[in-house]
């Protein structure tokens, strides 16, 4: 991760979902590389604890923004708070899965997940990428999921949000490469984090550690547009490429069904 530097990306990184899991690990690594961090999530206590830890262990500044990214006006508040800062690295990590059959879930809950997983990263990226373009440098990370590769019953909308993350990253990555801006979509498999508790699921077999996913994803930012952490996940993605789509949906639906019934 030689080139994850202030010189390459700029003074500040904004990390959503920094209170837990992959986002927290990304924030730690980015700070260790000498880039100041803006930590965004709802859990004030967790963000403040991370901020203290980072300022103690890395010689960088931190800012804590306690925000519900499901609320459009609060996303605009985050954008305003970044106005005077040179944010050269954006990590779109905040996200969660709403489990259950689509028509059984409340529409507001499905819309909230859409806002957190899709609308917030889209808004932040739209705003911050413009400034990166002017500076002709930057990096953007999207936490997609292996679940983006096929639909699944009981996670229909979640998988669709992750497919949006993936395709948006691929498209804007292609647009922004001429501006010296690296964009990566991390197609992560199961990771042991706060995710399982929030989505009422169990970890899948072969779950990875958040620090491993964070480290290798940042490592790959300058080399790849899409990155699949872990050999097993790579093999799953490869086999889905040649299988008819309904097979992927069957397999993923079975997996989600198993994980959600164990987690309920």
Q: Please, what is the minimum distance in Å from the beta carbon of residue 217 to ligand NAP?
A: 10
Query: Of 217, 77, 95, whose CA–CA distance to 160 is shortest?
Result: 95
Q: Which residues pair with 14 in a beta bridge?
A: 38, 90
- Residues 6+ away with beta carbon under 8 Å from 69: 16, 40, 75, 78, 94, 115, 116, 120
Q: What is the DSSP string of 237-260?
A: HHHHHHS-HHHHHHHHHHHHHHHH
Q: Please, what is the minimum distance in Å from the beta carbon of residue 1 to ligand NAP?
A: 19
96 is a catalytic site residue: no
3-class DSSP assignment, residue 7: helix
Query: 99 or 188: whose CB is closer to ligand NAP?
Result: 188
Q: Please, what is the minimum distance in Å from the beta carbon of residue 58 to ligand NAP?
A: 19
Strands (E), 79-235: 87-92, 138-145, 181-188, 226-227
Question: Of residues 76, 158, 216, 227, which has the active-site annotation?
Answer: 158
Residues at the site binding ligand NAP, with contacts judged by CB under 6 A: 17, 19-23, 41-43, 46, 67-70, 93-96, 116, 143, 145, 188, 190-191, 193-195, 198, 210
Q: Which residues pair with 227 in a beta bridge?
A: 186
Query: Of 22, 42, 149, 28, whose CA–CA distance to 92 is shortest?
Result: 22
Q: Please, what is the minimum distance in Å from the beta carbon of residue 7 to ligand NAP?
A: 28
Residues that are catalytic = 158
């Amino acid at each position: 991760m030689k080139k994850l530097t202030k010189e390459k990306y700029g003074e500040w990184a904004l990390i959503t979902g920094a209170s837990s899991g992959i986002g927290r690990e990304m924030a730690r690594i980015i700070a260790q590389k000498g880039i100041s961090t803006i930590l965004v999530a709802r859990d004030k206590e967790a963000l403040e604890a991370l901020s203290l830890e980072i300022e103690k262990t890395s010689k960088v500044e931190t800012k804590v923004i306690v925000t519900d990214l499901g609320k459009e006006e609060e996303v605009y508040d985050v954008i305003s708070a970044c106005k005077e800062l040179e944010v050269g690295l954006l990590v779109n990590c905040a996200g969660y899965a709403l489990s259950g059959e689509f028509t059984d879930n409340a529409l507001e809950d499905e819309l909230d997940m859409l806002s957190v997983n899709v609308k917030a990263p889209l808004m932040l990226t739209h705003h911050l990428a413009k400034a990166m373009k002017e500076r002709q440098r930057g990096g953007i990370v999207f936490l997609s999921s292996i679940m983006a590769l096929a639909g699944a019953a009981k996670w229909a909308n979640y998988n669709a949000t992750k497919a949006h993350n993936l395709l948006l990253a691929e498209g804007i990555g292609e647009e922004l490469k001429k501006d010296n801006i690296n964009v990566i979509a991390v197609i992560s498999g199961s990771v042991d984090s706060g995710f399982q508790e929030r989505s009422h699921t169990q970890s899948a077999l072969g779950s990875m550690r958040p620090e491993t996913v964070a480290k290798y994803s940042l490592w790959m930012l300058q080399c790849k547009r899409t990155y699949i952490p872990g050999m097993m996940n790579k093999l799953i993605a490869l086999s889905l490429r040649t299988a008819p789509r309904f097979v992927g949906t069957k397999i993923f639906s079975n997996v989600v069904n198993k994980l959600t019934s164990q987690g309920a």
